[in-house]
Structure 1
Amino acid sequence: MSFLNQLKSQASALQEQKSALHQNLDVNIAQTEAACKTAWHYISDLSRQLNVIAPPGPKFSLDGKTPWPAMKLIDFRADFRKKKLRDREVFDYIGMGWQIFPQMGAAIGGTVTVNFPPDLERVQSRLSIGMVKHERKEVRHPEKNTLQV
């Protein structure tokens, strides 16, 4: 067998491997797309049903002592994004979101008092995570002028 024939046989073997790999990849992509489409229909239907129900929200507290009023979950929505993969649009991700509002009436203001810097950091981080509008008021000792949180 000549050197050229050996190269041809190696090239054809590699070509067959690549073809089988691409075929297997296409099958996997199709199965994943079908599963994502099923999940998308389920989540979008779930969000419509939850908008009707408006389930109660979890119990919240910033400092572990002062509870928030009873909350409800509203405005459920489902969303998906697609991306290009091997010249085809495929699902990138599927997500669901909602808003949390008081069960009765509009949002009300309140105050939280903390005594130690670790408590202050914990409360501030919780407020920033929840995107809650807040104002920090520092109290200083009248004689020492040290910060009293």
Structure 2
Amino acid sequence: MKHRFHPPALRYSLPLSLQPKKPPVSFLDDLKRQAEALKAQKDGDAASIARNLALTESACKTVFTYFTTLAPQLEVLRPPSHARYTLDRQNVLERLPLTEFRVDSRRKKLGNEDVFDFLVMHWQLKTGREFQLTKDFLPDMEKLEAKLHQSGMKFENEAVRHAENGKLQCRRYTFVADFVGLVRVTAQHESAKLHFQVQNVDGFETVTLELPALEVSGARLDELAKWLTGHPHAFFKDALNVRRVEA
């Protein structure tokens, strides 16, 4: 049986000049698309800002509650500082009791919201001893002054001159060795982080670091309390931008 050959059907397309054209996008339609894209971006940004603000405020409340609970306990316990506070080679302060704990906070306006600005817990380290230290070498003067400023001690700085020719012989520093330690926590709402500034815990120095608000919990603050009371701690674990500056 013979099969008939059927040639394939030919397909014809209109010339480009005769094909229907898509209507051109008007300038107004283009502006509309740009506006919709920008609005979607702003809505997403607003949601992100609101989320970060809520996370930061929650973390600040956690810190404030923890500090206001911790401070009275430490006021009773008066734990001795584990640090050595070196004024110079001959004068080192050790095992100073931590006393007079206070907690404070400040708020600010962020848009229409009333939010935390910073929180602080501070305490006293007191010896009650008056010191008179004389320094006749400029680097020694600068080192001592840096430590006194870091500590927050009030001091008098007096030039001692030769009785006859008036030439500077040395400088005399007079102060009572009572100073402060503190933890200051500043809210960073835009990035959902808390900035910690810790002064005079491991000596005359300042330690700064940042923690994501999500990581600020009672367990993390327990590590801070361990540090303050001289116990092994993991407060720095996964912290951001850790910096230690010694006076």
Q: What is the TM-score normalised by the length of structure 2?
A: 0.50
Counterpart of 2:60 (choices 24, 27, 36) is 36
3-state SS of the aligned residue for 1:131?
Answer: coil
3-state SS of the aligned residue for 2:155?
Answer: coil
What is the aligned partner in structure 1 of residue 35 from structure 2?
A: 11
**Aligned partners of 1:51 and 1:76 also within 8 Å:** yes
Shift of 1:31: 1.5
Shift of 1:77: 1.4
3-state SS of the aligned residue for 1:71?
Answer: coil
For 1:134, the aligned partner's letter is E
Q: List, as ranges, runs of 4+ consecutive aligned residues in structure 1 with deviation greater than 4 Å.
A: none
Shift of 1:26: 0.9
Of structures 1 and 2, the larger Rg is shown by 2
Structure 1: which 5+ residue stretches go unaligned? none
Structure 2: which 5+ residue stretches go unaligned? 1-24, 171-247
**Aligned partners of 1:72 and 1:101 also within 8 Å:** yes
Matched, 1:2 2:29: no
What is the distance in 2 between the residues matched to 1:101 and 1:69? 11
CA RMSD of aligned residues (A): 2.5
Shift of 1:70: 5.2
Moved more, 108-117 or 83-92: 108-117
What is the distance in 1 between the residues matched to 2:166 and 2:57? 64
**Aligned partners of 1:141 and 1:147 also within 8 Å:** no
What is the aligned partner in structure 2 of residue 113 from structure 1?
A: 134
What is the number of equivalent residue pairs in this alignment? 144
What is the aligned partner in structure 1 of residue 99 from structure 2?
A: 74
What is the distance in 2 between the residues matched to 1:4 and 1:137? 78
Shift of 1:37: 1.0
Shift of 1:88: 0.4
What is the aligned partner in structure 1 of residue 113 from structure 2?
A: 88
3-state SS of the aligned residue for 1:61?
Answer: strand
Counterpart of 2:155 (choices 117, 122, 133) is 133
3-state SS of the aligned residue for 2:124?
Answer: strand
3-state SS of the aligned residue for 2:131?
Answer: coil
What is the distance in 2 between the residues matched to 1:55 and 1:28? 36
Counterpart of 1:65 (choices 90, 114, 136) is 90
Shift of 1:87: 1.0
Shift of 1:75: 1.1
3-state SS of the aligned residue for 2:156?
Answer: coil
What is the aligned partner in structure 1 of residue 73 from structure 2?
A: 49
For 1:114, the aligned partner's letter is K
